[in-house]
Amino acid sequence: MAQAKTWILKKHFEGFPKDSDFELKLEQLSEPKDGEVLLEALFLSVDPYMRPYSRVRMQEGDVMIGTQVAKVIKSNNPSFAVGCHVVGRCGWRTHTVSDGSDLTKISDDWPQDVPLSHAIGAIGMPGLTALYGLEEVCAIKSGETLLVNAAAGAVGSVAGQIAKLKGCKVVGSAGSDNKVAYLKELGFDEAFNYKTVPSLEEALKKASPEGYDCYFENVGGPFSSVAIPQMKAFGRIAVCGGISLYNDTTPQTGPYIHMHMIFKQLKMEGFLVGRWAHKNEESLKRMLTWMQEGKLKCKEHVTVGFENMPAAFMGMLQGENIGKAVVKV
Ligand code: NDP
């Protein structure tokens, strides 16, 4: 019988998460029954959404939510042979018994030279989020100018590169000079450190004096209040995330953006990546091809050891990661 290590949400987060909010627990698993498989986690994802979703989707005592790349080590399900790899919504656990309904098989022709961990990164949910935010929400066109924040992260770095592939000018904002250097390496036209620029407004104006057609919003809060007035007429804003708000204990207030929205006739749309799940197979193939052609690059911030999941999660929320934050078991 396999034993799983799991990380439990011991206490709902109040403000920024802390070590004592998590608890490591052992769980005895039963043998997989007919139709079930036993999985062993290889890479686990730590994502910003876990912070707000913990409030609405989880109770104290639940295993932390999350996806992982796992290997099938026992199988009574013909769709998942022993040795194949899957992306599973298993939560923070080393081993899982699953009936397959929450698993997506990683295709057998996944290229040898692409790390499997990218299936929870650029060639997975974060990559798809970047693609759909640009294509479906912004409907971005060649020649337009894109602003993206948290630009050196999993979603932002892919969004900026896809916009470059589409012939756009790309301006990225990130929280360290190393991140800014990385954005330049990726081909961003302009990049700045939002923590050290004397004036965010001036930095945005300098990077694109004519303004922005599209804004891929990952951060929200005060950044957004300064960025929205910099939009061009008929600009589109894809509201992907608001990470600057996730740990707030009291709601932030204005400045409010209505007058800019009205007079510039802006379109602002929130979205969740799952809306276009029916397109995922084709989209992932497209992004895998870009990666193999060297047009899409992806860094990972790898934390080693399942016992370090909370540290990896909190580190990502604090901006320690360049590229996708993952934990290697
Ligand atoms: P990242 O890899 O970008 O990691 C999070 C980054 O956010 C940090 O590295 C940090 O970078 C930045 N950050 C943290 N706190 C702040 C702050 N107060 N102000 C500004 N930046 C901050 O994460 P993801 O790429 O996975 O996610 C990016 C965004 O996309 C998140 O808002 C997430 O919730 C959202 N998302 C939405 C989805 C959807 O379906 N709508 C799906 C997936 C993600 P820095 O050093 O630059 O500050």
47 CA from centroid of ligand 1 (Å): 8
Q: What average pLDDT score do residues 75-103 get?
A: 98
User: What pLDDT, in 10s, does the model give residues 301-322?
Assistant: 999 999 999 999 999 999 999 9
Give the atom of ligand 1 at the shortest distance from the alpha carbon of 271: 41
pLDDT for position 58: 97
- R_g over Cα of the chain: 20
Give the atom of ligand 1 at the shortest distance from the alpha carbon of 318: 14
User: What pLDDT, in 10s, does the model give residues 51-71?
Assistant: 999 999 999 999 999 999 999
From 132, 243, 301, the mutation candidate for ligand 1 (largest count of ligand atoms within 8 A of CB) is: 243
Q: What average pLDDT score do residues 95-101 get?
A: 97
Q: What average pLDDT score do residues 215-222 get?
A: 98
8-state DSSP, 208? -
Give the atom of ligand 1 at the shortest distance from the alpha carbon of 133: 41
Q: What is the pTM of this model?
A: 0.98
Who lines ligand 1 at CB under 6 A? 47-49, 126, 129, 150, 152-156, 174-176, 179, 218-219, 240-241, 243-244, 271-273, 316-317, 319, 321, 325
Q: How would residue 1 be classed by pLDDT, with cut points 50, 70 and 90?
A: confident
201: pLDDT strictly greater than 90? yes
Q: Name the region of 305 (left: φ>0; alpha: ψ -120 to 50; beta: rest).
A: left
Cα separation of 197 and 315, whole Å? Answer: 23
317 CA from centroid of ligand 1 (Å): 7
Q: What are phi and psi of 5, to 5 degrees?
A: -90, 135
Q: Rounded to 5 degrees, what angle do the CA atoms 323, 327, 329 make?
A: 150
Q: What average pLDDT score do residues 135-154 get?
A: 98
Tokens 């961003």 correspond to what residue? 188
149: pLDDT strictly greater than 90? yes
161 CA from centroid of ligand 1 (Å): 16
Cα separation of 115 and 123, whole Å? Answer: 10
Residue closest via CA to ligand 1's atom 35 equals 241
254: pLDDT strictly greater than 90? no
By the 8 A CB rule, do 3 and 27 touch? yes
User: What pLDDT, in 10s, does the model give residues 113-131?
Assistant: 999 999 999 999 999 999 9
User: What pLDDT, in 10s, does the model give residues 260-309?
Assistant: 999 999 999 999 999 999 999 999 999 999 999 999 999 999 999 999 99
34, burial (CB in 10 Å: exposed 0-12, middle 13-18, buried 19+): exposed
DSSP H helical segments within 249-308, as ranges?
A: 258-263, 280-292
109: pLDDT strictly greater than 90? no
Cα separation of 164 and 160, whole Å? Answer: 6
User: What pLDDT, in 10s, does the model give residues 20-50?
Assistant: 999 999 999 999 999 999 999 999 999 999 9
Query: In the predicted model, what is the mean pLDDT of the chain?
Result: 97
